[in-house]
Structure 1
Amino acid sequence: MLGAGVFAVFAPAAAAAGSGLLFALVLAAAIAYCNAVASAQLAAAHPTSGGTYIYGRERLGHWWGFIAGWGFVIGKTASCAAMALTFAAYAAPGFERPAAALAVAGLAAVNYIGITRTAALTRVLLAVVLAVLVFFGIAAFPAASGDGHQWLPHGPLGVLQAAGLIFFAFAGYARIATLGEEVRDPARTIPRAILLALPVAATIYAAVGLAVLLVLGPQQLATSTAPLAEALAAAGHGALTPVVRVGAAAASLGALLALIAGIARTSLAMARHGDLPRYLAAVHPRFRVPHRAELVLAAIVIVLVLVTDLRGVIGFSSFGVLVYYAIANASAFTQPAGERRWPRWLNIAGFAGCLVLACTLPTTSVLAGLAVFAVGLVIRVLRTQR
């Protein structure tokens, strides 16, 4: 969850909600909690690779599982390209495309040689990001001011749009649930990991969001391309902005590393059931990873970063993830009493919240998301008829 979103998501959220992005952050965190308990409960009952693709397929039917898996794979593949380009923009300005391609190839190689290597590198990147965010808070908060704030410039709709965009930054716990076959005691470990990680990430987001909002104000924040760096400069620490660049680069790499792992495992599950080419269902005999899925994914993302710029896909990715979690909540709602750990009303709240946020995203994001799902459904209809 502590990926590039914390360095990028507050600007579009401020454009939608002004200072109301703080309300949006609370709303996004509340819906994320509902989704997290649904994912944790389902992961305990279905400890296998695939996440909500498997949960939807087992609890609701094959078509619902396909919708969840398709939205996750397509939306997050675009996010992979966005994260790689974001890393390169901070780490190698002027050489963004080749640097992004090298980053994808390097992280795919780490994933290829086993999930323990992925976890070890994730710890290193997370330590760097946390250190940078703590440094940012210490440097920026003394310059905070409450002047010039517009709380709800676009009314409640603006808050809902901002919450949908901020939700993009919470989406990392979905990838925990996709790793069910590679975790010791997944029925215990995955729920525990999800529910420990979420409040920590939410607290950090709240502190960073409050700092950039109070230092820059909603108008300047809304137009910022590097909010944390600009906040440091406004606080009189412009010479220290390279520290933020290091943190943003590490966060982008961390997000990209987890994305590659999560998409490959969902692709593995879909290939096993014939919803993607069965060639992708192979598991490496030594490293025990879906190596073909990871190599194909890396190749696609490298092509994307070399030919297009997908750094504006936050809204599109949020739409796909919100649909994914709506299906997770609906799946958790069907679980019998013996599998339940939390009350059903949380599933209802999570389902309704996901749909509301998805429908109130910017129109272009909604239309792009609907088009992607329509293409996937047409492909599955044709494959089913064959």
Structure 2
Amino acid sequence: MSTKTVKKSITSSGLIALGAGGTIGSSWIYTNSQFFREYGAGGEIGGLLLAAVLAIFAALSFAELATTFVRAGGEVVYGYVAFGKPGAIFAAWALLGGYISLLGFYVTASSLLLARLFPIITKGIGYSFAGVRISLVELAIGVLITLIVYGVTYRGAHLTSKVQVVLLSGLIILGFILIVIGFSHGSMHNFWPAFHNQQKPLPAIIRFVIPAMTFLTGWESVATLAEEAQMPARKIGLIVIFSIVLAATYYISVLLASAWIWPWQKTAQMTMGTIDAFTAAGFPILGMIAFVISALGLMTGFLNLFSASSRLLFSLARGNLLPQGIAQLHARYQTPARAVSVVLVLVLALGWLGKGALVYFLDVGGFLIALAWAFNVLCLLKIRHQYPHLPAGFRNRHLLWPIIGGVASLSIAVINFLPITKYSLIWPIEYLLLAIWAVFGLIILWRSSFYSVDTQALLGKDMIHKLTQNKNP
């Protein structure tokens, strides 16, 4: 093992693939049956568009800070500069909690997809959680896929980004096929009217923004992995924004094509959304393509969040907010191998909960991600006030837009947390999971009180000099 700085090995295409590919997940392509039923096709597609705009506003803070502090861990570094130890730990707690929750979802979702092709894997010895049964074969498949993802990320960001480029290319090619066939062989009459009878369009769109936010996470990894990127700082900031634009365009185009090829009201009565829509429209091969897109999206999300989670832990450990041994790099791969292994343990600790916990993972993960977005905007405002002339590769001319993104993100988190709306966390299990994660965060904060932060390791010697030179008197 080595303690050298992480190796710069991610190209521009690799960073785009990690950001955009990591945002394009799995469940969106088959859950549109449920969402069409509840919000109408117009509600889901319009809600995604509005959520993407809000995500871009929030991402403007990441784009600026990622090009100001080009360090592994991203928000951990920004949180420390703005609010000291508590800020760094809170940032890691929120973002890592969101990522680990979503990774737990991927462990389960991987076997869920395969069960559609091979129902036999759901049979045999198993157990139940939250009233849903999972067989040991399903669990074993999920664990095996997790170990494969672990093996790739263990070998470093260079390999991970190259694999991600291949996967994203596959997603784009297959998605393009669905879009072309959907619009050329479908009809606007299948899509319009886009809402249920007596349904008010604007409330339906606004209500879908909250679940849409869970589809639009993963791009934060661009900031988290910035230290390993081989490119000018400004380009990193642009890739943050472009990742959301690409992912949102992909989502909306494919979902709109599925509503064009087959009446969305009929799709709403099915179980597998886009997959069933193209199959019912007489294109079973395209239905299979939609299934493959779901599988590829699962892998891109899995690889991206696994890598980003390990860098958050690496950053905390490098700054002595966690045991510094976790920050040691593999001598050959120059990857934070120990941090990657810790992520594996955390993910498998959740993965055994199975299909019954899918909603729990998405709900808790979405809440924590929204909290992390809001906090990052707050960090930008504090850093701008303390260090008004600190150079950045990407700098916001007006802070109004990131502020709007931060307020929207905080509002979503509050709506999720307060037990008074249909979007609130599920009582008591999701509040219990959140409480357990809060205990872990408090333990890390308590431990940090006995140790001094290794500021030079966390921020870098050059950044400490810049902060000293640019601090507000």
Same fold (TM over 0.5): yes
Give aligned-pair identity as a percent.
23
- Please list, as runs of the form range in 1=range in 2, the aligned pairs for 1:32-181 lying within 5 A after superposition: 32-91=55-114, 93=118, 94=121, 95-141=137-183, 142-144=185-187, 145=190, 146-147=192-193, 149-150=195-196, 153=199, 158-181=204-227
Post-superposition Cα deviations, 1:137-167, rounded to whole Å, max 9, x if no partner, equal 2333433412573288488665444112112
* 1:7 matches 2:29: yes
Shift in alpha-carbon separation, 1:27–1:284, aligned structure 2, 3 A: same
Bigger Cα displacement from structure 2, 110-119 vs 366-375: 366-375
What amino acid does structure 2 have at the position aligned with 1:280? I
Post-superposition Cα deviations, 1:246-277, rounded to whole Å, max 9, x if no partner, equal 22111101110111100000011122334444
| Counterpart selection for 1:302 from 336, 339, 348 | 348
Q: Distance in 1 between matches of 2:425 and 2:267?
A: 22
Cα contact 1:17–1:152 (8 A) shared by 2: no
Report the equivalent of 1:379.
443
Post-superposition Cα deviations, 1:7-37, rounded to whole Å, max 9, x if no partner, equal 2564554455333223311221111111222
Cα contact 2:328–2:338 (8 A) shared by 1: yes
Q: Distance in 1 between matches of 2:348 and 2:157?
A: 22
Cα contact 2:310–2:340 (8 A) shared by 1: yes
Q: CA deviation at 1:281?
A: 1.7
Q: CA deviation at 1:180?
A: 2.1
SS in 2 for 1:43: helix
Q: Distance in 2 between matches of 1:319 and 1:152?
A: 31
Q: Distance in 2 between matches of 1:4 and 1:282?
A: 33
| Counterpart selection for 1:354 from 409, 413, 428 | 409
Report the equivalent of 1:184.
230
Report the equivalent of 1:317.
365
Q: Distance in 1 between matches of 2:397 and 2:197?
A: 34
Cα contact 1:267–1:293 (8 A) shared by 2: yes
Q: CA deviation at 1:169?
A: 1.8
Q: How large is the RMSD of aligned CA atoms in angstroms? A: 2.8
Q: CA deviation at 1:221?
A: 5.2
What amino acid does structure 1 have at the position aligned with 2:24? L
What amino acid does structure 2 have at the position aligned with 1:17? Y
Report the equivalent of 1:342.
397
Q: Point out where structure 1 has 5 or more consecutive residues left out of the alignment.
A: none
- Please list, as runs of the form range in 1=range in 2, the aligned pairs for 1:241-252 lying within 5 A after superposition: 241-252=287-298
What amino acid does structure 2 have at the position aligned with 1:348? I
* 1:326 matches 2:374: yes
Shift in alpha-carbon separation, 1:162–1:375, aligned structure 2, 3 A: farther
Cα contact 2:89–2:445 (8 A) shared by 1: no
What amino acid does structure 1 have at the position aligned with 2:380? A
* 1:364 matches 2:399: no
What amino acid does structure 2 have at the position aligned with 1:302? L
Q: Distance in 2 between matches of 1:271 and 1:161?
A: 39
More helix by share: 1
Post-superposition Cα deviations, 1:231-258, rounded to whole Å, max 9, x if no partner, equal 1123222354222222211110111011
* 1:259 matches 2:302: no
Cα contact 1:67–1:373 (8 A) shared by 2: no
Q: Point out where structure 2 has 5 or more consecutive residues left out of the alignment.
A: 1-22, 122-136, 417-422, 451-473
What amino acid does structure 1 have at the position aligned with 2:364? F
Q: Distance in 1 between matches of 2:241 and 2:194?
A: 37
Q: Distance in 2 between matches of 1:200 and 1:154?
A: 29
Bigger Cα displacement from structure 2, 237-246 vs 366-375: 366-375
Post-superposition Cα deviations, 1:162-191, rounded to whole Å, max 9, x if no partner, equal 112112222121011111221124523311
Shift in alpha-carbon separation, 1:374–1:84, aligned structure 2, 3 A: closer
- Name the TM-score, length of structure 1 as normaliser: 0.89
What amino acid does structure 1 have at the position aligned with 2:173? A
Q: Distance in 2 between matches of 1:143 and 1:155?
A: 23
What amino acid does structure 2 have at the position aligned with 1:311? L
Bigger Cα displacement from structure 2, 325-334 vs 85-94: 85-94
Cα contact 2:152–2:159 (8 A) shared by 1: yes
Q: Distance in 2 between matches of 1:80 and 1:376?
A: 18
Q: Distance in 1 between matches of 2:170 and 2:242?
A: 20
Q: Distance in 2 between matches of 1:150 and 1:341?
A: 40
Bigger Cα displacement from structure 2, 269-278 vs 285-294: 269-278
Shift in alpha-carbon separation, 1:307–1:372, aligned structure 2, 3 A: closer
What amino acid does structure 2 have at the position aligned with 1:34? F
